[in-house]
A and B are shown apart, each in its own frame.
Chain A
Amino acid sequence: MITIIDYGLGNLASVANALNKLGIPNQVSNSPNVIKKARVLILPGVGAAGQGMQNLKNLNLDKVIIEEIKRGKPFLGICLGMQLLFEESGEGNVACLEILKGVVKKYKKERKVPQIGWNEVKIQYSKIKMQNYNSKVKKILSNIKDLSYFYFVNSYYCEPDDTSIVVAESEYGEKFASIVMKDNIIATQFHPEKSGSIGQQLLKNIFTYFNDLNH
């Protein structure tokens, strides 16, 4: 079953609601055993990195998530759920899950933070070609036009060491990674579950892709 990890932050119901609208069965859980047995994991999240990591640790979920991702379980990280995959967050200098190399930084002061609203997502075609990601990315971004608008709410952004994992970028004062993909991991800085019909399309593509992986 697709399992949405409940670590006590923000609006968890929104991811479940978005999947329900698509007719994709899912469950919400904070149990390490359920998460171990899940077919696909989603780490959603709005909230602060420090509180997020603390909650994951208190629920004994941090190690489970790391193990399951390393075992190759399909994983979707959304917003804070993307940021926590990296090594460290500038939001309170918090050590994160260290699954992806890189750090999480705050937007420059001249821009209003949080960034709130709809921003363009630019697909990095040249990188994708180089990395032989072509067929995978094609499936995941099928029917998503380049420069589509998605909904963002964030003050911090990810800066991966390995820029080849950046499948799409957006710009808010500076360019930042808005979609990363590596092996079994897909992560978005925006909220597909809150991004109207285009967000629904992306979720549908992602779960169709994950489903094919499992068979």
Chain B
Amino acid sequence: MLTKRIIPCLDMTEGKVVKGVQFETFRDAGNPVELAKRYDNEGADELVFLDITATVDNRNILLDVVRKTALNVTIPFSVGGGIRTTSDMKDVLRAGADKVSVNTGGFNNPQLISDCANIFGSQCVVLSLDARKIGEKKWNVFINGGRIDTGISVVDWAIQAIKQGAGEILLTCIDSDGTKRGFNVELTREVSSKVSVPVIASGGAGNLKDFVEILTEGEADAALAASLFHFGEYKIADVKNHLKRQGVSVRD
């Protein structure tokens, strides 16, 4: 049976892992390669790297981190942040990433998603989608690090991006990000039930119960968390043991 995945997320800037709250006020969480190794050893199912400031200087630092991570971990990882062209994608994949996530670049130019899917296959193209609630059961896609409301509904964009060739969705609820008040179950279920590809839920993990809830009621295929793991509140094994006790299948 295919198991649910637990994915630590490493938000990076200038070669360091940082963690924010609702996409702001960042706190240093350490060396990315060391953290990646630790999570691999501790039983993480996958890793996500996001370059949250994505400037040209950072791109080179990021590629260096990707190369070192690829040499040191034995599980898959995706890399995103500032991916605008197929050549950006190629750089990241050639450096050793297994998947690339596109966010603003893919929204502004959906052709980027289809070009990437055609060249590298849908399985390496992750649509990273930042959502914010704008009304009762209504969420819009926000781009530019959550700063711009596109006016487009999350489900509409997700479906279109899958048609373009996205093979997975990383769905972040901005309202929940870093709050530790739980994932957005309603939003995740809304998206996951309407799309044909796996959905990774992100934003808001605060305790063990939240993981159970998002992977069952929320219909997520994977759950992502950052600060909980970085600052040692829970180990990956704590989350997995709890999930197993609650009847959710996870990898040992």
Contacts and interface: CB of A to CB of B under 8 A. Distances in A.
A and B bind: yes
Given A14-B98, A119-B1, A112 B197 contact: yes
Nearest to A79: B123
Interface stretch (A65-73, A130-138, A196-204): A196-204
A11 B97 contact: yes
A109 B197 CA distance: 11
B59 interface: no
B5 A117 contact: yes
**Residue of B74, B94, B119 contacting most chain A CB atoms (<10 Å):** B74
B96 A17 contact: yes
Nearest to A172: B2
Contacts of B94: 13
B174 interface: no
B71 interface: yes
Given A11-B97, A48-B121, A149-B252, A21 B2 contact: no
A114 B122 contact: yes
A112 B70 contact: no
B167 interface: yes
Contacts of A115: 2
Contacts of A193: 74
Given A18-B74, A171-B1, A199-B74, A154 B123 contact: yes
Interface in B63-78: 70-71, 74-76
Interface in A8-25: 9-11, 13-14, 17-18, 20-21
B45 interface: yes
A117 B76 CA distance: 9
A194 B198 contact: no
B74 A200 contact: yes
B198 A114 contact: yes
A210 interface: no
Interface string A1-45: 000000001110110011011000000000000000000000000
A113 B121 contact: no
Interface string A111-126: 0111111111000000
A171 B96 CA distance: 29
A194 B167 contact: no
A151 interface: yes
Contacts of B23: none
Interface in B207-252: 221-222, 251-252
Interface string A133-174: 000000000000000010111110000000000000001100
**Residue of A151, A155, A193, A195 contacting most chain B CB atoms (<10 Å):** A151
Contacts of B97: 11
Interface string A171-185: 110000000000000
A111 B94 CA distance: 30
Contact of A11 (B74, B93, B122, B197): B93
B76 A151 contact: yes
Contact of B121 (A9, A20, A149): A9
A100 to B, nearest CB: 22
A168 B241 CA distance: 27
A200 B41 CA distance: 13
Nearest to B168: A116
Given A17-B70, A20-B71, A114 B45 contact: no
Interface in B37-79: 40, 45-46, 70-71, 74-76
A200 B75 CA distance: 11
B124 interface: yes
A102 interface: no
A194 B221 CA distance: 19
A90 interface: no
7 contacts: A9-B121, A10-B121, A113-B196, A118-B2, A119-B1, A152-B2, A153-B123
Given A11-B93, A118-B45, 5 more contacts: A112-B195, A114-B167, A114-B198, A117-B222, A200-B74
Interface of B: 1-5, 40, 45-46, 70-71, 74-76, 93-98, 118-124, 167-168, 195-198, 221-222, 251-252
